[in-house]
Amino acid sequence: MNKKITILIVLIIQLLFLEAHSKSKIYSEISNEEKNFILKKQKQIKNDTKTHKSDTNSIIAWVRPGKITVLDFLAAKHCAENKKFAFRFKDSGKTRLFYQNLEAYFYQCSKNLILKDSVSNSIVIWTNYEDQSLFKFPDKHLFLYRKTTNTYKKILKDAKKKDPSLFKPEIYKVYFKDKDSIHIMGKKISNNIPARKIAADHCARYKKNVYYFEEDYYSGIKASMLFYCTDKTFFSHPKTGKSVRYTNDSAYFIEKKNAQNKMFKEEFEKYGAKSLISYYFFEASNEYLTTLELLYRAYDLNLKADEFKAQIEYNKNSKYSESEKLKSTRSLLDKGSVEMQVKLTDASLVLSDLGRGYYEQSLPYAFSAAQNTVQLIITFQNVTQDIKSSGAKGLLKNFGEISGIFTTLPQINTFVKNMNSTIKLVFSGAKSKNVKDKGNLNKALNELNL
């Protein structure tokens, strides 16, 4: 019993020391108590932590439950090697990196003051940051472990008061992406259609379909939405068994006949589309129509530009049938593409400052049109392959998509060919015409491999 009491007293003394240390105005020499504290934490690091990855700017590591102070100490020690402070954020424990059912924590190292995570805007909840002027020997003591100081707490409080939105996440921001997944900050109580589109466009770059499963709203890093990119078909999550909430995989809809209209209800209503093929055709067409509208205005052909703008409104009008919209869109785009290619290749035509402005505005729409065309091609190929492999049975299963194909088929090849050649001319001509490509979209276009 006496031994336990002695240990308890020592711990209380250490905690009181640290509290006093965090409130002190001037740091001079390290006391014996602090030296003992450091030695103790160094021993605990070996037993209670495991480092996943570290570099000059960060460290990611696991820690036993209830030992977060040990991990803070490890982070401070690591960052101090490069004369930097350590910062742990509110969402640092949501890395989605697991070891023996423990999730790793992320720490950032920085020489400068940090208030939030640069990706998620998550607020700092621990740091060893302190004002250098408070140290007699900053080279020795500035970057050592300490509790969050009153100095830092005041800075954080003042920042929150000045801008309450400073620590709010940016909706639909991409937190992480690779060839197998993409993590996007979603919006609560929403179908998150913009996030779905971002994910679908990303997966299409790798010629893959996108899948989003039930209860994956917080499954991504930093509690973001987790979308998977795959060339396989799933009817539930392969590990959790949870149902599919969103996908653009035609093979999935072949088996789940009514799922497509329900899953894409808002998207289909936008154009009165009856299938994914028709929907992606209209998405690509409307982006391309906007591209041509702006380009024609760039060349001061405003009456012609108005025709493209009117067609976009026509496509969104529920009074007209899908086939009527497809027919009129095809006719206008085919003619408009050919005429614009002549303009783009005519070196004698010089754009005004206003014209260059319109030209610059057209670039994001041109790139978006190309992205939707990739979706169109993938969907078309998926359905066609299923028909070839399953014959008459596949034809019946695909009836909804078949109607879309036969309605759209006459213009798909022409549409894709004309659009691709025009868009390439748009981006190649931008540089020669001194038009800024702010998003470096020409490079991203090349990565689509159209």
pLDDT tens by residue, 63-74: 999 999 999 999
Phi, psi at residue 239, to the nearest 5°? -105, -45
Return the minimum-mean-pLDDT range out of 218-222, 267-271, 401-405. Answer: 401-405
* Cβ proximity of 234 and 287 under 8 Å: no
Contacts 24+ apart (CB under 8 A), 144-149: 144/30, 144/38, 144/76, 144/80, 145/38, 145/41, 145/72, 145/73, 145/76, 145/77, 146/18, 146/21, 146/22, 146/76, 147/18, 147/19, 147/21, 147/22, 148/22, 149/22, 149/23
Q: Give the Å distances, CA to CA, from 16 to 30, 34, 148, 326, 414.
A: 15, 11, 14, 75, 77
Question: How many whole angstroms separate alpha carbon 2 and alpha carbon 416?
Answer: 83
pLDDT tens for residues 423-441?
Answer: 888 998 888 888 888 888 8
User: How large is the C-alpha radius of gyration of the chain?
Assistant: 29
Say if residues 72 and 97 touch (Cβ distance below 8 Å).
no
- CA-wise closest residue to 146 among 162, 159, 121, 129: 129
Q: What is the rounded distance in angstroms from the CA atom of residue 222 to the CA atom of residue 224?
A: 6
Tell me the pLDDT band of 62, cut-offs 50, 70 and 90. very high
CA distance 210 to 198: 10
Amino acid at 426: V
Comparing CA positions, the residue from 332, 334, 323 lying closest to residue 272 is: 323
Residue closest to 336 by CA, chosen among 371, 372, 294 = 294
Strands 85-89 and 244-247 come out as unpaired
Sequence-distant (6+) residues with CB within 8 A of 32 are: none
Two structure tokens written together for 330:
């095809």
- Alpha-carbon separation of residue 344 from 245, 299, 329, 433 (angstroms): 43, 10, 22, 10
- Measured CA to CA, the distance from residue 156 to residue 385 in angstroms comes to 58
Determine the pLDDT at residue 39: 74
Helices within 234-352 (DSSP H only): 250-255, 259-263, 265-271, 276-298, 302-315, 322-344
| Mean model confidence pLDDT for the chain | 85
pLDDT digits (tens, 9 = 90+) for 365-385: 999 998 888 888 887 777 777
Contact in structure between 49 and 70 (CB atoms under 8 Å): yes
The CA distance from 28 to 148, in Å, is 18
Least confident of 38-52, 58-72, 233-247, 290-304: 38-52
Neighbours of 5 (CB within 10 A): 9
Cα separation, 270 vs 315, in Å, equals: 9
pLDDT of residue 347: 84
Residue pointed to by tokens 């620590």: 167
Whether the per-residue pLDDT at 9 is higher than 80: the answer is no
pLDDT range class, residue 22, cuts 50, 70, 90: very low
Distance in angstroms (rounded) separating the CA atoms of residues 120 and 136: 36
- pLDDT tens string 150-179: 999 999 999 999 998 999 999 999 999 999
Q: Is the dihedral of CA 134, 136, 142, 147 positive or negative?
A: negative
Q: Is the pLDDT of residue 216 over 70?
A: yes
Cα 205 to Cα 398: distance, rounded to the nearest angstrom: 25
Least confident of 21-30, 239-248, 283-292: 21-30
- For the residues of 267-279, what is the DSSP string, one character each? HHHHHT--SHHHH
Q: What pLDDT score was predicted for residue 353?
A: 92
